[in-house]
């Protein structure tokens, strides 16, 4: 059985001394690998090294920061297939999606930040409104912490790492235990970057390690991606010691299908928006809002498409839906479906007998539920699996109201043959990102983040770099 018992911290490889655990495979429920988490000693080395590297990182030229980002992108391009294969076995992502979703997206993100850092305005001189001039500087915030979830681990690690490097900040990454093998491969790429020793560390571990890092006064900024419940704790802990933080949390995003939508022509994209990575995507479109007059025909077509999907071993190129990542997540999904049925929701997809699914793993058949009311838990709570609810609407205004009637506000989409009309509807959605006729939930050059319970702050684009910078004004006399 594969064992991960090391970490890259403070510019060197260390043997880890933290909690020992054996993690089961989502594919068959059998032990997959064992992990020795990073312990207090490794945490101290990582944060001590980051603090020592802060001055050198801040002094790096923009060209050096750009070069480091492009070098990491090149390394991922060379080793990406092995990393994608590891992630498939870690979280059940179907192999036909894995390379693009897990690795190529990360490469594109790194290249985008390399371009952005070369264009970024780290200082400017303004005319003072009270006379004189003002020098506005944007300075590195200091030592950063990036807490990364298990669903898209390399991409989300890069979403935190890239702006930190661009801003001139050292950073400690904390991947989830479920991703220990791919995190170890990723750390090997980071270890050879031309950055000051201690600039980047990778400490894999669970909640106790995360809490210890968030609470440590040597951390100046936290970037957290994960559940809303966990994000509340991170935000509270950071606020208590006035540590800067960014939270990218859960979602219950709505896809609005307008009455002129070409369902047959865009069905593959719509399915991807709902079910990519087995529904384990924060911006998955898990509520589909359908015109009342089209509701029966369109939901039946979507349900038939769900039923045609192949559920199986994610390593098989024919598999559309693999297992969800953990047994605990599997149990939560089953409980949510049972509760929805008790509340009156009805699955439109055909029932698949338990013995028709692969045995031993965390396999959940994709479900489309109808007879759902907006107040049901299944329509309001994030499930994080292949479970979609369909709701009818009578007017565009009602569709927008239904979409906005959520504690979340991360993503959304509008589907129509009339782009002007779709844009008008999109403008009314209270969510961080809206796609039009697209499964995409973000653009590397534009801000990404959530409203309400979906988080605080923004990542990506120039705003993503600014999140790792402090702004300072120097008041100067007229020259």
Residues 369-400: tens digit of each pLDDT: 999 999 999 999 999 999 999 999 999 999 99
145: number of CA atoms within 13 Å, CB side?
29
The band of 324, judged by pLDDT with boundaries at 50, 70 and 90, is: very high
Q: Please report, for the chain, the start and end positions of each structural domain, with discontinuous segments joined by +.
A: 2-249+452-476, 254-436
- The Cα–Cα gap between 172 and 16 comes to 15
The band of 355, judged by pLDDT with boundaries at 50, 70 and 90, is: low
Mean pLDDT of 237-241: 98
pLDDT for res 351: 79
Mean pLDDT of 232-259: 98
On the question of pLDDT at 293 being above 70, the answer is yes
The band of 302, judged by pLDDT with boundaries at 50, 70 and 90, is: very high
Mean pLDDT of 428-446: 97
Chain mean pLDDT for the chain: 97
Q: Which residues are catalytic?
A: 248, 282
The band of 350, judged by pLDDT with boundaries at 50, 70 and 90, is: confident
Predicted TM-score (pTM) above 0.85? yes
Mean pLDDT of 391-417: 98
Give the pLDDT confidence of 177-192 residue by residue, as tens digits.
Answer: 999 999 999 999 999 9
Residue written as token pair 């007879």: 371
- The Cα–Cα gap between 7 and 74 comes to 22
- The Cα–Cα gap between 127 and 478 comes to 9
On the question of pLDDT at 354 being above 80, the answer is no
The answer for residues whose C-beta is within 8 angstroms of residue 423's C-beta and 6 or more apart is 414, 436
Mean pLDDT of 326-348: 96
On the question of pLDDT at 479 being above 80, the answer is no
Orientation of helix 62-91 relative to helix 180-191, angle to 10°: 160
Residue written as token pair 């990454």: 173
- The Cα–Cα gap between 388 and 155 comes to 25
Mean pLDDT of 191-195: 98
SS3 131: strand
CATH no. of 2-249+452-476: 3.40.605.10
On the question of pLDDT at 352 being above 90, the answer is no
Q: Name the strand (E) or helix (H) holding 185.
A: helix 180-191
- The Cα–Cα gap between 234 and 244 comes to 11
On the question of pLDDT at 353 being above 70, the answer is no
The band of 336, judged by pLDDT with boundaries at 50, 70 and 90, is: very high
Q: Name the strand (E) or helix (H) holding 456.
A: strand 455-456
pLDDT for res 478: 84
DSSP letter, residue 1: -
Mean pLDDT of 282-292: 97
pLDDT for res 152: 98
Contact between 370 and 342 (Cβ < 8 Å): no
Mean pLDDT of 329-351: 95
SS3 118: helix
pLDDT for res 143: 98
CATH superfamily of 254-436: Aldehyde Dehydrogenase; Chain A, domain 2 (3.40.309.10)
Q: Name the strand (E) or helix (H) holding 247.
A: strand 244-248
Residue written as token pair 């801003």: 167
């Amino acid at each position: 059985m594969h064992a991960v018992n090391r970490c890259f911290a403070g510019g060197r490889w260390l043997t880890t001394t933290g909690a020992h655990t054996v993690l089961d495979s989502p594919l068959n429920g059998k032990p997959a690998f064992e992990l020795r988490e990073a312990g207090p000693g490794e945490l101290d080395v990582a944060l001590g090294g980051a603090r020592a590297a802060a001055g050198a990182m801040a002094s790096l030229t923009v060209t050096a920061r750009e070069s480091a980002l492009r070098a990491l992108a090149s390394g991922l391009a060379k080793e990406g297939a092995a990393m994608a294969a590891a992630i498939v076995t870690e979280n059940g992502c179907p192999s036909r999606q894995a390379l693009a979703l897990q690795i190529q997206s990360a490469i594109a993100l790194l290249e985008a930040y390399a371009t952005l850092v070369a264009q970024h305005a780290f200082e400017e001189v303004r005319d003072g409104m009270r006379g004189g001039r003002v020098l506005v500087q944007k300075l590195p915030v200091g030592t950063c912490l990036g807490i990364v979830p298990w669903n898209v681990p390399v991409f989300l690690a890069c979403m935190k790492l890239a702006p930190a490097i661009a801003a001139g900040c050292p950073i400690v990454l904390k991947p989830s235990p479920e991703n220990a093998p791919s995190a170890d491969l990723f750390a090997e790429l980071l270890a050879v970057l031309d950055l000051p020793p201690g600039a980047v560390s990778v400490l894999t571990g669970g909640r106790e390690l995360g809490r210890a890092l968030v609470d440590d006064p040597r951390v100046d900024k936290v970037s957290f991606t994960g559940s809303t419940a966990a994000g509340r704790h991170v935000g509270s802990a950071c606020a208590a010691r006035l540590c800067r933080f960014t939270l990218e949390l859960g979602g219950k995003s709505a896809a609005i299908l307008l009455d002129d939508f070409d369902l047959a022509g865009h069905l593959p994209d719509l399915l991807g928006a709902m079910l990519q990575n087995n529904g384990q995507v924060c911006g998955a479109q898990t509520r589909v809002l359908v015109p009342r007059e089209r509701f029966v025909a369109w939901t039946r077509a979507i349900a038939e498409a769900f039923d045609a999907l192949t559920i199986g071993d994610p390593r098989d190129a024919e598999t559309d839906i693999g297992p969800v990542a953990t047994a605990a997540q599997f149990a939560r999904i089953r409980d949510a479906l049972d509760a929805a049925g008790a509340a009156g929701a009805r699955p439109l997809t055909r029932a698949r007998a338990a013995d028709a699914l692969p045995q031993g793993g965390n396999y959940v058949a994709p479900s489309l539920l109808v007879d759902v009311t907006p107040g049901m838990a299944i329509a309001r709570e994030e499930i994080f699996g292949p479970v979609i609810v369909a709701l009818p609407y009578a007017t565009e205004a009602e569709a927008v109201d239904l979409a906005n009637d959520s504690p979340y506000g991360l993503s959304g989409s509008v589907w129509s043959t009339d782009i002007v009309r779709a844009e008008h509807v999109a403008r009314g959605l209270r969510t961080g990102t809206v796609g039009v006729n697209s499964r995409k939930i973000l653009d590397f050059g534009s801000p990404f983040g959530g409203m309400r319970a979906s988080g605080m702050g923004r990542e990506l684009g120039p705003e993503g770099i600014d999140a790792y910078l402090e702004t300072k004004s120097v008041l100067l006399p007229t020259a």
